[in-house]
Every structure is written in structure tokens, then in C-alpha cells.
Amino acid sequence: MSTQPDIPLNESPLLAETHARGGRSRARPVASWREHHGWSAAASLRRLMSRPVGTLLTVAVMAIALALPLTFYLLLGNLQKMGDALGQNQTISVFLQPGQGVASADMLAKKLRERGEVAAVTVKSPDQGMDELAKMQGFSGALHALDANPLPFVLEVLPRPDASADSVDHLVGEMRDMQGVDQVQDGGTWRQRLEALLGVGQRVVLILAALLAVAVLLVVGNTVRVDIASRSEEIGVLMLVGASRAFVRRPYLYAGIWYGLFAGVLAAGFAVLVELALAEPVQRLGQVYAGKLQVDVLPVWLLAAVPVAAAVLGWLGARLVSAWQLRKAA
């Protein structure tokens, strides 16, 4: 389109070209509109590349702002997996009253297995409990002095992995009220604290993402504002000869898109680097817990969506500021 493709945005040669192509543009409005979009995208990219240091600094600031919520999301997902591996759904021990026999234990176990929030129920007899105590150091001598086995039947109840803390707490409360139950031991408090912590973390990630999205808008907006202010005379001439505001601001909108796109790609790269940095220590920790812990990674669709979302944010920031600046210049 332009005979001087390396000319900065909206300089006087563009004005001359607009005059030369006036009749042709009226005859082919759609083709001219499409052609100017292509020129604006290419020219804005050339202008960014002509000042690499400033562009790199702006993109780096935006990328860090975008990478922070991704990092917190990654850490939150790994905390969730760590809680699952370390016993978020740990076994609940139900101690029956002394004197309850095997028939009562089996009947209660059958009743619990029918509940939707229960994954499995294991019946442990007093003899099995005595054998476990005998294997513990320091108990064997004391057990030989007992005339009878004082241990009761114990039911080990394993909740389903997808059962919420509230449903498990409700189950524990009902088991305490069941006939023949003496005591129920459950780590429900720890489970509730973990879920509450994860809930707070998810809300923090959402708030942080919203705040940093506003920061990206401000960074792009301020960069475009400075660019427009430095070229206010040329923009004024273009508008005097009949150029529309959409025509004038189009290169700046593409500049915002480029800023956002580059920052999104760099932010996704930062997130991948964080994943790689976490892989080795989590692997060592997983070996301690018999391979139950594995590093959680960000889904591919999320990494691919970040540059697109960042480009939209860049366009929006440039759109808001350029519209405001051009109204002032009109």
C-alpha cells in the first residue's frame, strides 16, 4: 500500500498517499479498509521494533504482571494435589462399644457401605488390634500381663475422594450417634482447614488476576497516550483533511495488540519456567511419600489462552486511551 513502508505511523507521506488513493478508496471501500488494516498491523510492528529497548521493557512489565496469577494458580493446584496425597480423605476410625460382637460390627459396616459418601469400610477385630499393638516396641510385655483382650471392634471408614468436607463431617456426626458406637476419630478439622485455605487461595488468584489485568490496561494505555501525544500535530493534520478517528487510531490499536500478544507469550514462558523449577524438588518430595506427589502443570489450553487474552487487553487499553486522546485533539 505505502510506497515507504518504513515510515513511522501517521507521518505526512501517509497523508499524501491518502489523497492519491481517495477516488480508488471510495470505489473499493471494503478492499481499502482491509488493506489499511494490514498496513496498520505491519507499520505498528515496525515501529515497535524500531525501539527495541523501550518495547522490551514494556512487554517485560506486562509479562510479569500476567505471569503472577498463573504462578499462583500453579502453586494452588500443587497444594491441592499435595493435600490429596497426604491424606485429605484419610480413614475415619469408628470404635465400637466393649461387648459388641462380630455380628454387630458386620451389620454396621454393611450399613455404612451403602452410603454414597463412603468408598470402603474395613472391619478390624480385637485380635487384629492386639497383633498390631504387639508389633509396636514396648507393648509386647504389657500385653502378656492382660487376662483378656480389652480392645473393641474398629471400623475403618474411607470417604470417597470427591466427598466434600461438609458431607464427611455430616457422616462423622451420624456415626457418633449410631447404636453401639463408642468413639469416632477423624481428622476432619485438618480437612476443613485445607479446603478453607484452598477456597481463599482461589479467591485471591481471581482478585489478583483482575488487578493485574487492570495494570496491563494502564501500561498499554500510558504507552499509547505518550505515542499519540508526541504525534499530535500530524494527527491534527490528518483529521483536518477528513481522516476519521477510526482511521487515525487503527495503528495504535494494533500496537496495543502487539504489546499484549508479546507479553502473553513471554508470560506463558515464565509459567513454564516455574513448572520446570518446581519439578525437581517435588520429585524428591514425592520419593519420600512413595511417589504419591507429582508436580501439577498448567493445562495447554490455559497457556495458549494467555497470549490471546493479553492481546485483547492490549487492544482494549489502546482503544480507551486513543479514543480519549483523539477527542481532546479534535
CATH class of 92-186: alpha beta
What residues have CB less than 8 Å from 102, skipping those under 6 apart? 123, 125, 153
Phi-psi region of 137 (alpha: psi -120 to 50; beta: other; left: phi over 0): beta
Could you tell me the pTM of the whole model? 0.64
**Angle, helices 188-230/52-85, rounded to nearest 10 degrees:** 170
**Residue 232 confidence (pLDDT):** 73
Annotated domain spans of the chain: 12-85+194-329, 92-186
**Residue 14 confidence (pLDDT):** 44
Highest mean pLDDT among 96-110, 152-166, 299-313: 299-313
Complete DSSP assignment for 35-63: HHHHHHHHHHHHHHHTSHHHHHHHHHHHH
The average pLDDT across 104-110 equals: 87
Q: How far apart are CA 22 and CA 27, in angstroms?
A: 9
208-242: pLDDT as tens digits: 888 888 888 888 888 888 888 777 777 777 777 77
Looking at per-residue pLDDT, the higher value among 115 and 84 belongs to 115
Q: How far apart are CA 109 and CA 126, in angstroms?
A: 15
73-87: pLDDT as tens digits: 888 877 777 666 655
- The answer on pLDDT for 89 being more than 80 is no
Q: How far apart are CA 284 and CA 262, in angstroms?
A: 35
Q: Residue 278: in which H helix or E strand, if any?
A: helix 245-288
**Residue 4 confidence (pLDDT):** 37
Share of the chain above pLDDT 90, in %: 12
**Residue 2 confidence (pLDDT):** 38
What residues have CB less than 8 Å from 193, skipping those under 6 apart? none
- The answer on pLDDT for 152 being more than 60 is yes
**Residue 121 confidence (pLDDT):** 87
Grid cell for residue 320: 480507551
Q: Collapsing DSSP states into helix, strand and coil, what is residue 114? A: coil
